[in-house]
């Protein structure tokens, strides 16, 4: 504890039903410079006064009307205050069971009446020093935790920025725009929330789904940017972007990148088993992949591209319904229908002009 600390500014709560005892305590403590002394005769006022004026020390009588000192300590203990101040019991009772009960109830020290002035002041000083040291340690810990939280937030923000840029890197090569991943990730979250995913799970999905096509980085330009229909060999090469994306994202133990890898690998799987790269079928396809598939296709169809115009909403709805049980999970299609107004609100908010 710093040597220059002034203990006289400490707030001390004096609790005793006898006015004469309170007067004596005030006189003794004031003689040593303690000026912030709060006197309480009615023990029922201890809790509200404590909450209004957090003290650094409590001098507490045991035998009082309405509430005895033990009951007062139980009330204070129930607050679960991590910085509950020390309690010095002052009582005329000297029995061992009183001492043990008092210490067991939360008291830090015990002084019998009539008390010696010098002994009282020494005990008060010692208890205040211990409490101050405890408070300094608590404040340092809180400050350290705050700094760690700030640094963690900075690292997470940096990670998210890198992830967003990775997701956009694939789009720049595929004539997409940043609004595509914004919309499709919002659509994915709408579906996930409708299915009962909690806020933390939805947050992960929001940040992981934009990396669904990161594997396109590894596809040659003459195939990725080909304006016409792909040959069978070219299409097989294009399909490899799902595995390439998974390989790019593997090896990290964070929940975010694990989910991103799962999505990259499985969002081209189809409910009837005709998808790629593994030909997974039905519930064998991770739910994150099924959600992203529907969100991605809806946005692709309703958005204009250099090589096509946007589909009408009705044509897109007809396609999604036709593909229920084939491309898409039927349960997800049902949730999609229910959430359509939310989808349309997202589409309007992040609308692109005709290209």
Q: 174-349 falls under which CATH superfamily?
A: Hypothetical protein af1432 (1.10.3210.10)
Distances (CA, A) of 296 to 8, 73, 243, 261, 320: 68, 61, 18, 16, 12
For the chain, give every domain's residue range.
7-145, 174-349
Residues 6+ apart with CB under 8 A from 332: 191, 195, 290, 291, 294
Lowest mean pLDDT among 41-45, 94-98, 227-231: 94-98
7-145 adopts what CATH topology?
Answer: Rossmann fold (3.40.50)
Instruction: Name the residue with higher pLDDT: 234 or 251.
Output: 234
Contact status, residue 64 vs residue 17, Cβ threshold 8 Å: yes
The pLDDT of residue 104:
78
pLDDT tens digit sequence for 337-350: 999 999 999 999 98
The pLDDT of residue 171:
64
Instruction: Name the residue with higher pLDDT: 355 or 350.
Output: 350
pLDDT tens digit sequence for 268-283: 999 999 999 999 999 9
What's the rounded Cα separation, in Å, for the pair 332 and 291? 7
Q: Tell me the mean pLDDT in the region 279-291.
A: 97
pTM recorded for the entire structure? 0.59
Contact status, residue 236 vs residue 223, Cβ threshold 8 Å: no
Burial of 253 (0-12, 13-18, 19+ CB in 10 A): exposed
Q: Tell me the mean pLDDT in the region 235-248.
A: 94
The pLDDT of residue 164:
66
Residues 6+ apart with CB under 8 A from 87: 57, 58, 60, 73, 76, 106, 107, 108, 109
**Beta bridge mates, 12:** 37, 57
| Percent above pLDDT 90 for the chain | 52
pLDDT band at 23 (very low <50, low <70, confident <90, very high): very high
Instruction: Please check the confidence at residue 41 and state whether its pLDDT lies above 60.
Output: yes
pLDDT tens digit sequence for 201-237: 999 999 899 889 989 888 998 888 887 789 999 999 9
Q: Which residue in the block uniquely carries the two structure tokens 């994150």?
A: 288
pLDDT tens digit sequence for 178-195: 688 889 999 999 999 999
pLDDT tens digit sequence for 142-179: 788 888 878 877 776 776 677 666 666 666 666 555 68
What three-state secondary structure class fits 237?
Answer: helix
| Percent above pLDDT 70 for the chain | 91
pLDDT band at 354 (very low <50, low <70, confident <90, very high): very low
The pLDDT of residue 355:
40
The average confidence (pLDDT) of the chain is: 87
The pLDDT of residue 224:
86
């Amino acid at each position: 504890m710093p040597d220059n600390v002034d203990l006289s500014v400490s707030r001390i709560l004096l609790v005793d039903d006898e006015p004469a005892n309170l007067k004596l305590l005030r006189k003794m403590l004031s003689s040593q410079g303690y000026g912030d002394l709060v006197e309480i005769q009615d023990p029922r006022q201890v809790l509200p006064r404590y909450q209004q004026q957090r003290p650094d020390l409590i001098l507490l009588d045991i035998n009082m009307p309405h509430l005895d000192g033990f009951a007062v300590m139980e009330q204070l203990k129930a607050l679960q205050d991590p910085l509950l101040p020390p309690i010095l019991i002052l009582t005329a009772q000297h029995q061992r069971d009183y001492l043990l009960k008092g210490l067991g109830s939360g008291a830090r020290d015990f002084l019998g009446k009539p008390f010696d002035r010098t002994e009282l002041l020494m005990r008060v000083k010692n208890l205040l020093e211990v409490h101050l040291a405890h408070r300094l340690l608590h404040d340092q810990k809180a400050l350290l935790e705050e700094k760690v939280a700030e640094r963690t937030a900075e690292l997470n923000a940096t990670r998210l920025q890198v992830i967003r840029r990775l997701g956009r890197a694939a789009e720049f090569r595929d004539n997409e725009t940043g609004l595509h991943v914004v919309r499709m990730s919002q659509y994915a979250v709408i579906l996930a929330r409708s299915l009962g995913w909690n806020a933390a799970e939805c947050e992960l999905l929001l940040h992981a789904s934009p990396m669904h096509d990161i594997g396109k980085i590894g596809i040659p330009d003459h195939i990725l940017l080909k304006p016409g229909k792909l040959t069978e060999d070219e299409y097989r090469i294009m399909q490899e972007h799902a595995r390439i994306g998974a390989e790019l994202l593997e090896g990290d133990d964070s929940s975010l990148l694990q989910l991103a890898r799962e999505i990259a690998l499985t969002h081209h799987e189809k409910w009837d088993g005709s998808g790629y790269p593994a030909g997974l079928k039905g519930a064998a396809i991770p739910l994150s992949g099924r959600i992203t598939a529907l969100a991605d296709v809806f946005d692709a169809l309703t958005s204009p591209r250099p090589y096509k115009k946007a589909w009408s909403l009705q044509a897109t709805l007809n396609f999604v319904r036709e593909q229920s049980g084939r491309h898409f999970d039927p349960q997800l299609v049902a949730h999609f229908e229910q959430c359509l107004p939310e989808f349309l609100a997202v589409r309007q908010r992040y609308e692109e002009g005709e290209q």
